[in-house]
Amino acid sequence: MDTGRSSSNHNESDVTMSETQRPHWGSKMGFILAAAGSAIGLGNIWRFPYITQQNGGGIFVIVYLLAVLFIGLPVMLGEITIGRHTQRNPVGAYGRIAPGWRFVGALGIISGLGILSYYSVVAGWTIGYAVKSIGGSLDPNGFGAFLGDWRQQIGYLAAFSLLTSFVVASGVQAGIERMARVLMPLLFLLMLGLIIRGLTLPTAGAGLKFYLMPDVDKLTTKTFLFAVGQAFFSLSLGMGAMLTYGAYLKKEDNLVTCAVAVVALDTLIALMAGFLIFPVIGHGLHKGGPSLVFVTMIAQFSHMTGGTVTAILFFVLLALAALTSTVSLMEVFISYLIDEWHMRRLSAVVLTGTLSFALGVPSALSLGAVPSLTHIIHGKGFLDIFDFAFGNLALTLGGLLMCIVLIYRWGFRHAADEVLGSSPKFRPFAQTWKILLQYVAPVAIAGLLIYCLVTGTGLS
Ligand code: PFF
């Protein structure tokens, strides 16, 4: 349904005022690095390799690439397009293109805050382990005690929240973009160095076999659902992070090259993560999640020559990847407070940082420190419940609603005009984009949502 209301429902003086004050990326490359920084995170480095191995190795990689291409990329372009068109935070953006649908943006900023709270807990562990490796006190058997120590849990959560707040408080260009320009190349180099080190280990051959050996028997409907879920989380879709970053793009920036570059970089790093983790481990993984990185990898580091340095670099790598993601999660809420509540950036950061820290405390204490938080519903602890509710359900629901709003409320033609304005060469592909957004992505996402609801489990 094409109502044409998008351009008529806001008043001009409002646009002129906010558009001149609105921050923008210094360049398109600044956006690409910051958005790739959001996408590349813990999801790539430890979740992707593990999910790949458990879901059929090489076969899963192929299904994942298809999910990224046919679902991730079109949804990414959709989110960035809504952001650039409206130059607003998710709530304001949906309000502009489809009055009455502001709640989709609200769902996004709430899930952003929810994810930020528990993601910062895990991110805090990476600093904790970087510190431990520098002090030479890494112990593969020490993870349980670490999780049960409330001082370390709260301390590292606070440290990571402060770090994120500091970057976000410095602003879009001076904070987020500058951080991404320095950290992303560094992350890439660190990863390359660690991969090369891993490939020289005697365990490399066996590890790579486990990672990539196709196991066709594992190819089921679940494989497709896991691939879609992983693509969503990994590409930071469904909660308005890409929309928020897209809202700092200028009218002349080519949206298609932006979306393609971010998706390609995220996928490259995910694939590289497999080449980093498996050669070091050398055998199949039976457990994913935290124990992969904080137990199994450490056990391997302790046997190898130069293990301490490798461990330090590995945890620094994880911390950097996590930081560029938490910054984007926080910026979603910040942009809302600035746009809709006219708050100053610093006050917005203080409020959001405090809120996400407070919300993170129960997650930080739910892995051993406070027994009543470890089993809340069906044996799941607080952190797992947050991951399920926000990292699985809310993201997928948000993605589904984005497709519906773009196609049926805003009208595909407006979205296509926004893209074609700066990327005229996209014209022959516009119809394919429409089909993917109207049919392919919603069906796949709805399938995933139903799976999560019916089984009551997420994908971690
Ligand atoms: N994409 C990040 C990762 O792979 O770790 C996680 C994430 C960041 C999800 C930002 C959602 C988001 F908005």
pLDDT tens-digit series, residues 358-402: 999 999 999 988 888 888 887 788 998 999 899 889 999 999 999
The answer to whether position 5 is within a domain reads: no
Q: Which of 128-142, 288-302, 364-378, 416-430 has the highest mean pLDDT?
A: 416-430
The answer to whether residue 20 scores a pLDDT higher than 60 is: no
**119-134 residues labelled b (16+ CB within 10 A) or e (exposed):** bbbbbbbbbbbbebbe
The answer to whether residue 422 scores a pLDDT higher than 90 is: yes
Q: What is the mean pLDDT of residues 320-349?
A: 97
**47-70 residues labelled b (16+ CB within 10 A) or e (exposed):** bbbbbbbbbbbebbbebbbebbeb
The answer to whether position 225 is within a domain reads: yes
The answer to whether position 243 is within a domain reads: yes
| Exposed/middle/buried for residue 320 (C-beta within 10 Å: 0-12, 13-18, 19+) | buried
Ligand 1 close to Cβ of residue 42 (< 6 A): yes
> Residue 312 has which token pair?
């330090």
Contact criterion met (CB below 8 Å) for 89 and 109: yes
Query: pTM for the whole thing?
Result: 0.92
Ligand 1 close to Cβ of residue 239 (< 6 A): yes
The answer to whether position 7 is within a domain reads: no
Ligand 1, atom 13, lies closest to the CA of: 236
According to the model, what pLDDT value does residue 456 have?
76
Ligand 1 close to Cβ of residue 254 (< 6 A): no
Q: Which of 11-20, 35-44, 236-245, 276-285 has the lowest mean pLDDT?
A: 11-20
The answer to whether position 140 is within a domain reads: yes
Ligand 1 close to Cβ of residue 133 (< 6 A): no
Phi-psi sector, 57: left (phi>0), alpha (psi -120 to 50), beta: left
pLDDT in tens, 50-96: 889 888 889 999 999 999 999 999 999 999 999 999 999 999 999 99
Instruction: Identify which of 107, 233, 402, 460 to mutate to test ligand 1's pocket (most ligand atoms within 8 A of the CB).
Output: 233
The answer to whether position 460 is within a domain reads: no
Domain at 254, CATH number: 1.10.4160
Ligand 1 close to Cβ of residue 241 (< 6 A): yes
State the distance from the centre of ligand 1 to the C-alpha of 307, rounded, in angstroms: 29
Ligand 1 close to Cβ of residue 325 (< 6 A): yes
According to the model, what pLDDT value does residue 442 have?
97
Q: How far apart are CA 400 and CA 9, in angstroms?
A: 24
The answer to whether position 118 is within a domain reads: yes
Q: How far apart are CA 187 and CA 126, in angstroms?
A: 14
Ligand 1 close to Cβ of residue 328 (< 6 A): yes
- Of ligand 1's listed atoms, the one at least distance from the Cα of 395 is 11
Ligand 1 close to Cβ of residue 396 (< 6 A): no
Ligand 1 close to Cβ of residue 115 (< 6 A): yes
Displacement of CA 334 from its chain's centroid (Å): 17
Q: Could you give the percent of the chain with pLDDT greater than 90?
A: 75
The answer to whether residue 308 scores a pLDDT higher than 80 is: yes
Q: How many domains does the chain have?
A: 1
Q: How far apart are CA 107 and CA 109, in angstroms?
A: 6
Q: What is the mean pLDDT of residues 157-175?
A: 97
State the distance from the centre of ligand 1 to the C-alpha of 42, rounded, in angstroms: 8
Q: How far apart are CA 365 and CA 368, in angstroms?
A: 6
State the distance from the centre of ligand 1 to the C-alpha of 197, rounded, in angstroms: 27
Ligand 1 close to Cβ of residue 117 (< 6 A): no
**Containing domain of residue 88, as a range?**
12-455
The answer to whether position 104 is within a domain reads: yes
